Amino acid sequence: MTTPINTDGAKTERSSRVTTTTTSNLAVTIIGTGQEGSVRDQFSGYISRVRGGDMGSLPAIGGFLVLSILFANLNPYFLTTLNMANLFQQAGTLMMLSMALVFVILIAEIDLSAGVTSGVAAGVFVLLVNTYKFEWVTAIVISFVVGVAIGSLIGFFVAKIGVPSFVVTLGLFLGLQGLQLVLLGEGGLYRVETPQVLSIMNDSMEPWAGWVMLVIVVAVAFGMGMWDRTRRTKAGVTNRPMALLLIRVGAIAVGLGIVVFLLNLNRSVSVKAIMGVPYVIPISLIILFVGTFILDRTRFGRHLYAVGGNPEAARRAGIKVTQVRVLAFMACSFLAVVSGIFDASRIGSVDAGSGKTLVLSGVAAAVVGGVSLFGGRGRLSNAVIGAFVIAVIDNGLGLLGLPSGVNYLVTGGVLVLAATVDAISRKRAGSGQLRT
Amino acid sequence: MTIPADQIPVIELTGVTKSFGPVDVLKGVSLAAYAGKVTALVGDNGAGKSTLIKGLAGVQAYDGGVVKFNGEVVTLHSPRDASSLGIEVVYQDLALCENLDIVQNMFLGREETGLGTLEEGVMEREAAETLQSLSVRTVKSVRQKVSSLSGGQRQTVAIARSVLKKAKVVILDEPTAALGVAQTEQVLHLVRRLADSGVAVIIISHNLVDVFQVADYISVLYLGQMVANLEIGETNNSDIIGYITGSKAFEGATA
């Protein structure tokens, strides 16, 4: 048997051998992190990423602006502050449902029952308050429990048993409509009698509270930025130029500041003054912040993206894929309950058909905003922007007094357009493989 | 097979067996891998290479035989056993998430956290350090998405991922199978540097040109038996092909 003894002589004779110079002779190769360079470098880096197909929600923002300019020209009422507040309230329910769906779309699944889940939860809520005289807080907690239970049921069937989520949630979409009928009765309609719930969509904060909200948002944005910088400095890696953070925070301050200012003006068309930021805005901002924090900064969030991108790679990396999937469905149903409460607040009543038609608009909003149905790509903020695009179509066409058929046609067209942009940008990103 | 007195293999298999029902896939295989050396494992399809590797990875435990790690007998019953010893496998299909960047892929499943949140800076630095220690120059930024990388670059990321946590043994399954000429060259250099940094490398390959370029030892499996453990300087291409196809039997093949 041959003995593996190192004979250097034999090795050096072969010229075809792969050899390496000792590392001390090598000039130290610097591998970047994408954080180096001036503001200008960062900006051109961003542009080249966009050109490479990583467009995020840029098309949706563009679409929102184009539609807004169009409607503003067609109808002078569109740009009034009353309509602006209206738009926020119109978008609220859809936005929340769309954010819910992001959690399952990210792992390349779908929850067709999210809409009826929100309806069931709202039904449970009004039933408990109106018929069984529960405290409204207890009733809300119970409806959240019901929602999360539905989510874990879906998760069980999809992740543990392996039934396609499309089928499971289609079944629940039908089944939960039955549950709604059983709970609320055929043609049953329950008024929402809880003022706290009604005020989410119908009342506004005092003007000073709006400014406080602005200060808090700006402080949090700046604080998170500084926290990141401190941690990066401690780890010994480069930071982006400070100017970028200031520009970012400044943009948030100005943008939100204008919104707060406009909403703090009296927007009433009658004698009684209406002013202030609607409660739905701070509530949505808090949920957006917490959700984004979870997705961007926790291991769970990272694993969610990994499972969406390549489940097999995630499994081999030791990620508990089943658990991640179940949690994603639970998160989706949890936020669906929030959307159900928003909807109940806006309409003022709950019936057996609540939430039924909403889910496809929610998916549409997420896709329009730039969340990829193929999984692994998208953020909660994309869903928010997408929801505004859908809502502005609804709002603007409504003001023009066009028949509702036009509304559906335009929304459908926008959705197909958005999905096309997604597919093309994926192709572009894929073609990057050819570059070495 | 005799072992040089001055060197204890990092991983040593003796008389390893594995059967699936009536089929004996491994019939008492012996294999050794040394720190700082590249050991090539060759053999035709069905020779038992994958089964041998799966046992080392802890995915599929051996039925019999002795596994020694740094001279001590160990058991490999789960991937956790293997990775706690520092045995890492880079599979042929790489298993990277294309939607994530290099840092995120390298730390997938073992993210550094502080206060319950991801320590991006620490991970970024460690990833860059690992790539630099392997003298990787083809990667511009550790924040590049894997979807934008070439096949060779992806292989680089997968290998870097395996050595991130100070691996002692790295097993590479067909690392050059899907690559072009220039990229194969890059990956082979990387394999060499990996070994030079003190890791025991086991490389599975069908490409004997690659094997002769990079390996220090060649072990040939034929129908579940180790028919040859050779030093690279003492053999040649046609000998190895003979062993692989079974037309040549190594005299004194004990395994």
Residues whose CB falls within 8 Å of the CB of residue B181, separated by 6 or more in sequence, listed in order: none
pLDDT of residue B238: 85
Q: B191-235, pLDDT tens digit by residue?
A: 998 898 889 999 998 888 888 999 999 999 888 888 888 888 888
Query: DSSP H helical segments within A236-319, as ranges?
Result: 242-264, 280-297, 299-309, 311-316
Residues forming beta bridges with residue B230, ordered by sequence position:
B218
> Phi and psi (nearest 5°) for B178?
-105, 15
Q: A226-245, pLDDT tens digit by residue?
A: 999 999 999 888 888 888 89
Where does the pLDDT of residue B91 fall: very low under 50, low under 70, confident under 90, or very high at 90 and above?
confident
- Collect all residues of chain A within an 8 Å Cβ-Cβ radius of residue B233: 7, 10-11
Residue B231, min C-alpha distance to chain A (Å): 5
Interface residue of B136, B148, B161, B207 to substitute, partner A, most A CBs within 10 Å: B148
- Collect all residues of chain B within an 8 Å Cβ-Cβ radius of residue A5: 4, 231
Residue B188, min C-alpha distance to chain A (Å): 7
For residue B77, pLDDT over 70 is answered with: yes
pLDDT of residue B1: 43
Task: Find the largest Cα–Cα distance for chain A.
Answer: 102
Of B96, B113, B185, the CB nearest to A299: B113
> Phi and psi (nearest 5°) for B26?
-115, 120
CA distances from B70 to A67, A171, B9, B86 (A): 69, 56, 6, 11
Q: What percent of chain B has pLDDT over 90?
A: 24
pLDDT of residue A429: 61
The SS3 assignment for B24 reads strand
| Spatial separation of the C-alpha atoms in residues B227 and B209, rounded to whole Å | 20
Where does the pLDDT of residue A17 fall: very low under 50, low under 70, confident under 90, or very high at 90 and above?
low
- Highest mean pLDDT: which range of A2-16, A399-413, B102-116: B102-116
Cβ of B216 within 8 Å of Cβ of A232? The answer is no
Query: DSSP H helical segments within A127-278, as ranges?
Result: 136-155, 165-184, 195-202, 207-235, 242-264
Residue B155, min C-alpha distance to chain A (Å): 13
CA-based R_g, chain B, Å: 18
For residue B4, pLDDT over 60 is answered with: no
Where does the pLDDT of residue A38 fall: very low under 50, low under 70, confident under 90, or very high at 90 and above?
confident
For residue B251, pLDDT over 60 is answered with: no
- Collect all residues of chain A within an 8 Å Cβ-Cβ radius of residue B137: 29
DSSP string, A372-403: -TTSS---HHHHHHHHHHHHHHHHHHHHTT--
The SS3 assignment for B96 reads coil
For residue B2, pLDDT over 80 is answered with: no
- Collect all residues of chain A within an 8 Å Cβ-Cβ radius of residue B228: 2
Dihedral of alpha carbons B62, B68, B70, B74, sign:
positive
Cβ of B121 within 8 Å of Cβ of A231? The answer is yes
Where does the pLDDT of residue A401 fall: very low under 50, low under 70, confident under 90, or very high at 90 and above?
confident
Q: What average pLDDT score do residues A16-40 get? A: 60
The SS3 assignment for A159 reads helix
pLDDT of residue A12: 38
Q: What percent of chain B has pLDDT over 70?
A: 95
Window 109-168 of B: residues touching A by CB (8 A cutoff) are 109-111, 113-114, 116-122, 124-125, 128, 131-133, 135-145, 147-153
Q: A249-268, pLDDT tens digit by residue?
A: 999 999 999 999 999 998 88
| Spatial separation of the C-alpha atoms in residues A226 and A229, rounded to whole Å | 5
Question: Residue A169, exposed/middle/buried by CB under 10 A (0-12, 13-18, 19+)?
Answer: buried
Taking Cα atoms as reference points, which of A115, A219, A121, A124 lies closest to residue A174?
A: A115
Q: What average pLDDT score do residues A100-115 get? A: 96
Q: A154-167, pLDDT tens digit by residue?
A: 999 999 999 999 99
- Collect all residues of chain B within an 8 Å Cβ-Cβ radius of residue A31: 128, 131-132, 136, 139-142
pLDDT of residue B234: 85
Q: What average pLDDT score do residues A298-323 get? A: 92
For residue A137, which amino acid is it?
V
Cβ of A2 within 8 Å of Cβ of B229? The answer is yes
Mean pLDDT, chain B, as a whole number? 86
Residues whose CB falls within 8 Å of the CB of residue A104, separated by 6 or more in sequence, listed in order: A110, A111, A165, A328, A329, A332
| Residue, of A278 and B136, whose pLDDT is higher | A278
Q: What DSSP element (H or E) covers B90?
A: strand B87-90
Where does the pLDDT of residue B82 fall: very low under 50, low under 70, confident under 90, or very high at 90 and above?
confident
Where does the pLDDT of residue A28 fall: very low under 50, low under 70, confident under 90, or very high at 90 and above?
very low
Q: What chain B residue is nearest to A52 in terms of C-alpha separation?
A: B148
| Spatial separation of the C-alpha atoms in residues B251 and A1, rounded to whole Å | 8
pLDDT of residue A22: 43
Q: What DSSP element (H or E) covers B98?
A: none
Residue labelled with tokens 């038992």: B48
For residue A433, pLDDT over 60 is answered with: no
Residues whose CB falls within 8 Å of the CB of residue A7, separated by 6 or more in sequence, listed in order: B231, B233
Cβ of A1 within 8 Å of Cβ of B229? The answer is yes
Contact B62, B20 (CB under 8 A): no
> Phi and psi (nearest 5°) for B14?
-130, 125
Q: What average pLDDT score do residues A357-385 get? A: 91
A-B contacts (CB, under 8 Å): 191
Contact B98, A433 (CB under 8 A): no
For residue B171, pLDDT over 80 is answered with: yes
> Phi and psi (nearest 5°) for A258?
-60, -45
pLDDT of residue A13: 38
Cβ of B108 within 8 Å of Cβ of A234? The answer is no
Of A1, A32, A297, the CB nearest to B141: A32
pLDDT of residue A3: 43
| Spatial separation of the C-alpha atoms in residues B45 and A144, rounded to whole Å | 56
pLDDT of residue A436: 32
pLDDT of residue A20: 54
Residues whose CB falls within 8 Å of the CB of residue A236, separated by 6 or more in sequence, listed in order: B121, B125
In the structure encoding, which two tokens stand for residue A80, read together?
């009034």
Output DSSP code: residue B132. H
Q: A50-64, pLDDT tens digit by residue?
A: 776 677 788 889 889
